[in-house]
Amino acid sequence: METLKYQIEIEAPAEKVWDVLWDEKTYSQWTHYFSPGSVMKTDWQIGGKTYFTEASGQNGMVSTIERIEEPKILVFKHLGELKNGVEDIDSDQVKEWNGSLEAYHLEEIQDKTILKVEVDVDPSYKSMMDNGFSKGLEVVKRLSEN
């Protein structure tokens, strides 16, 4: 596993950036570069269930919220995969990366927010993550500043 880090400065308050990140109307816009039509469904509970899926909701990741301090910190712990609507959190393939974290930190300084993202990934996914976050965070910036 490797921890990748991304950062962007946004001229908007942290609450606005938070809303752009997690509102269902804007979430699929900035995550488009990972998977067009991406959806996040969560119960917003620490230890509860969060699903990151493609548009049909049948395939994606099964996660949980490890820490939440709205609008400053949100940390997901990835538990497994969703394949054809079935959760896999026990296979050997999943055990290689389950427990990996994806963290969002928003720090408001005067009229700006510094958004920092850290994500644990297998090095084979580095290029995909670099592309998704570099383009996706620009969308977060544009939507937050308008």
Whichever domain contains 34, its CATH number is 3.30.530.20
Read off the pLDDT of residues 16-66 as tens digits, 9 standing for 90 and up.
999 999 999 999 999 999 989 999 999 999 999 999 999 889 999 999 999
Supply the range of the domain harboring residue 30. 2-145
Q: How confident is the model at residue 69 (pLDDT cuts 50, 70, 90)?
A: very high
Report cis status (omega within 30 of 0) of the bond before 71: yes
Q: How many residues does the chain have?
A: 146
Q: How confident is the model at residue 72 (pLDDT cuts 50, 70, 90)?
A: very high
Which amino acid is residue 83, in one-letter code?
A: K
Query: Collapsing DSSP states into helix, strand and coil, what is residue 124?
Result: helix
Read off the pLDDT of residues 107-120 as tens digits, 9 standing for 90 and up.
999 989 999 999 99
Number of domain units in the chain = 1
Backbone angles phi, psi at 72, to 5 degrees: -110, -40
DSSP structural state of residue 1: -
